[in-house]
Amino acid sequence: MILKIVRARRSPIHEKDLLQLILDAAKSYEESGGDQLPADVSAEMFIVDNCKSIYFAGHENTGLTASWCLMLLAAYPEWQARARAEVLDVCGTELPNDSMLRQMKVLTMIIHETLRLYPPVAFVVREALQDISFKRIEIPKGTNIEIPIPILHQQSELWGPDTHKFNPERFAKGIAKACKVPSAYIPFGIGSRTCVGQNFAMIELKVIVSMILSRFTFSLSPGYQHSPVFRLVLEPEHGIYLYLQRI
């Protein structure tokens, strides 16, 4: 499907959107003899892999997090009311701008707690580049090490006895004070491999949720079946169904 769209883009003139920038980069790699790409990666594979990454990381993850966030706000009307009051106080009848988004402390707490309970990426995988001795565990070079993020985010010794409960208040003083080990909160990864779109994703989520809150009240449909399932990303197996009522 991606290559079909790409081949339709072969006309000489196109706007410089993100897809065109990827195509131009692939073309420059081809013209250089392909020496800028690994031997087993073709220009077409380069294009497809980049498009997949942008879709899953830049679209799917944000969409799923917004869905889980709305589900939680529907299930906890007291938090929905607090978030709505904040949005209306900060924005009034205006569309949220950068300054307004920075003032939304309650909504930020809610989004962080949503990402804690339902991180879109379920695993972080790293390969050992050399033999490692870690906590009396011998890890041979070439071993893939998987960190299950949802399990890490719900360890009671790190997050307290209410670890399985929706409690945005735990982020009232920021991520650093939310649990005993701040690096245990990794919905966007950690270290040198932290997601480059982290700040943009938070802006997107605040805009999406705040605009819905300012226009609607919502509750869970009686037909909603709660069943998170891992399918490359963490998604609701049966979808999320809400009743919305315009304010």
* Residue list, annotated binding site for heme: 195
Burial of residue 54, with CB atoms counted within 10 A of its CB: 0-12 exposed, 13-18 middle, 19 or more buried: middle
Structure tokens at 129: 């580049």
Instruction: Give the phi and the psi of residue 123 in degrees, each rounded to 5.
Output: -135, 145
**CA distance linking residue 135 with residue 155, whole number of Å:** 19
Question: SS3 for 18?
Answer: helix
Residue with tokens 């897809």, as numbered in its chain: 19
Q: Which residues are annotated as a binding site?
A: 195
Phi, psi of 228 (to 5 degrees): -65, 135
Coil vs helix vs strand at 42: coil
Q: How far is CA 102 from the centre of its chain?
A: 19
Q: Is the dihedral of CA 86, 241, 205, 113 positive or negative?
A: positive
Using left for φ > 0, alpha for ψ between -120 and 50, and beta otherwise, residue 113 falls in alpha
